Amino acid sequence: MGNYLSFQEIQDKCGNLHEKYQIDEDKFYNVVEGWAEASTTTEEKLLGSFRGLLQVVSGEIETIENTLELKPSCRMGCAFCCYYPIIINKMEAKLMKQAIESFPEERREKLQVHWKEYHRKYGRQLEELQSVETDADKDFKQHYRQKQLPCVMLDTVTNQCMAYEIRPIPCRTYVNYADPAVCEKSLMPKETVSFEFLYGEYMGALNEFLQYLYEEENTAFIDYPNDLYTQDYLFNWFKDGDSPQNRQKSL
């Protein structure tokens, strides 16, 4: 317990973030520029950029942690944060599907079975959530958390994410530096930190790349810019019996 930071210590350290750290925009744009020049298919370029940018986001968090001397207390098998609402846009959903398409067959099939079972088990609760006005209801996160609904990607037996390396930005940027018990005791712990500002640079670089592809008249499976404007819960992008390919056609 002694090594964990208190709420005040976290506040003090993170309050200094902008004095000690500046986001390195070039790292984001270098990823897409590299893929723009690669001699491969547009699908591969998109997927490579997506994976690369996710890595840059995680890398920036590590840089922040090293700069502020922060050590995450999140542990494998601890998944309290996987009960928050995760909302992504259609472009990100399609990129996740494309990435899952490249998973080994066994892993892909396991995910499809899992999604089917998930929607069968939680269908009624998910239905109720469709009516939540996320913009109008400022407490929607709290209401969602009270439902104790696991994420569609969470294996609730092992408590591990089944798509960990391509997990979306909200999961990637949410970290605890306090005693892990705070996540167990509270639905919305005040101690946790979200580096969600990194989303801006990640999406900015993706958007710029798509704009370039659009001018080249080939955005592959992305409907640009429309896909950027459609947002939905993660569980709605991954439904039962959907093979990523079939789902893609219908998206």
> What is the spatial distance between Cα 95 and Cα 87, in angstroms, rounded to a whole number?
14
Pairing relationship of beta strands 231-233 and 87-89 according to DSSP bridges: antiparallel
SS3 43: helix
H-helix or E-strand spanning residue 193:
strand 193-194
Does the protein bind ligand SF4 through residue 100 (CB under 6 A)? no
Q: Report CA-CA distances (Å) from 199 to 56, 174, 179, 187, 196.
A: 11, 12, 26, 24, 6
What is the closest distance, in whole angstroms, from the C-beta atom of residue 79 to ligand SF4 in the complex? 6
Which of 70, 154, 205, 210 is close enough to bind ligand SF4 by CB under 6 A?
A: 154
Comparing CB distances to ligand SF4, the nearer of 48 and 170 is 170
Does the footprint of ligand SF4 cover residue 82 (CB under 6 A)?
yes
Cβ proximity to ligand SF4: between 32 and 47 the closer is: 47
Q: Which of 32, 54, 86, 198 binds ligand SF4 (CB under 6 A)?
A: 86
CB of 151 to ligand SF4, least distance (A): 3
Residues 133-152 that bind ligand SF4 (CB under 6 A): 151
Give the nearer residue to ligand SF4 in terms of CB position, either 14 or 161.
161
Which class for 238: exposed (0-12), middle (13-18), buried (19 or more C-beta within 10 A)? buried
Distances (CA, A) of 170 to 8, 153, 174: 23, 14, 6
Q: Which string of DSSP letters, residue by residue, matches 120-136?
A: HHHHHHHHHHHT--TTT
Alpha carbon distance 87, 236 (integer Å): 9
Report 155-214 residues binding ligand SF4 (CB under 6 A): 161, 163, 167-168, 171
153 binds ligand SF4 per the rule CB under 6 A: yes
**Least Å distance between CB 165 and ligand SF4?**
10
Residue with tokens 């997506």: 50
Beta carbon nearer to ligand SF4, 153 or 210: 153
Compute the least distance from the CB of residue 161 to ligand SF4, in Å: 3
Dihedral sign computed on CA atoms, order 71, 141, 136, 224: positive
> Which residue, 53 or 151, is less far from ligand SF4 as judged by CB?
151
Nearer to ligand SF4, 70 or 152 (CB): 152
**Chain residues that interact with ligand SF4, rule: CB under 6 A:** 82, 86, 151, 153-154, 161, 163, 167-168, 171
